[in-house]
Amino acid sequence: MRNHPTPWSRLRGLEPMSLCDWPGRVCAVLFLGGCDLRCPTCHNFHLAWNSEDDPCLSRDHALGFLDQRAPWLDGLVVTGGEPALSADLPEWLAELRGRLDLPVKLDTNGMHPDVVERILDIQAADLVAVDVKGPWSKYPTLTGNKITAREAKATLGRIFKLAERHPERFLFRTTLVPLLTPEDLLETRSLPPSGFPLQTQPFRQPPRPFQGHHRKEKSC
């Protein structure tokens, strides 16, 4: 894995309040730029692939805002892009969690199990939401030919083993993109370990051309 810069240098967006990024909680959301996949249906494609075109939010600004907002929040969500591109993400999340005294949710594509394992080891996140794109055979198409079926199966297999060890800290979800057939969805539901129902979220056509915002497209 190519080691991307520290998360602070990748911070491109901060949403003050979200009611649907962590259902049941009022959260702030931090957006980290960059992604190793090229999913053709990505809603955050500018943030994922061209975030260097946009200014970085400063550490002082983000922490100052979060310090003031924390008493009125129930959690902090870190999403992207792909946050786990940064090898030091576990320590970064632990710093935020300790400073703000808030539970943390991480959104990830599951392609970086070593980083996720260290996050769990140091208890830097309370929930890890993992995208399961579809059946293994369609991973090349669904990720812009960045991951083979064999790589997807092996890598997410490691994530599934972590979930079996920490069942209270994982959820798995699939976006109902047009490339997935009912048969694909049925097969995808069988992939996570027993006891982990696959959550689904509706697909919305990505905006074209990109309008320059940093906010994630919502499904709620």
What are the residues whose beta carbons fall under 8 Å from the beta carbon of 50, sequence distance 6 or more? none
Say if residues 110 and 159 touch (Cβ distance below 8 Å): yes
pLDDT at 4: 65
Tokens for 54?
A: 């946009």
Write the CA distances from 17 to 28, 29, 39, 68, 159, integer angstroms.
Answer: 5, 7, 27, 13, 29
Q: How far apart are CA 100 and CA 21, in angstroms?
A: 18
pLDDT at 44: 84
pLDDT at 66: 97
CATH superfamily of this structure's domain 7-202: Aldolase class I (3.20.20.70)
Q: What is the pLDDT of residues 121-164, one digit of tens each?
A: 999 999 999 999 999 999 999 999 999 999 999 999 999 999 99
Say if residues 66 and 28 touch (Cβ distance below 8 Å): yes
pLDDT at 207: 63
Assign 142 to helix, strand or coil: helix
pLDDT at 3: 53
Q: Structure pTM?
A: 0.91
List, for the chain, all residue ranges whose pLDDT scores fall below the cut of 50: 1, 209-220
Domain assignments of the chain as residue spans, ordered by start: 7-202
Buried/exposed 77-106: b ≥16 CB within 10 Å, e otherwise:
bbbbbbbbbbbbbbbbbbebbeebebbbbb
Tokens for 85?
A: 């591109």
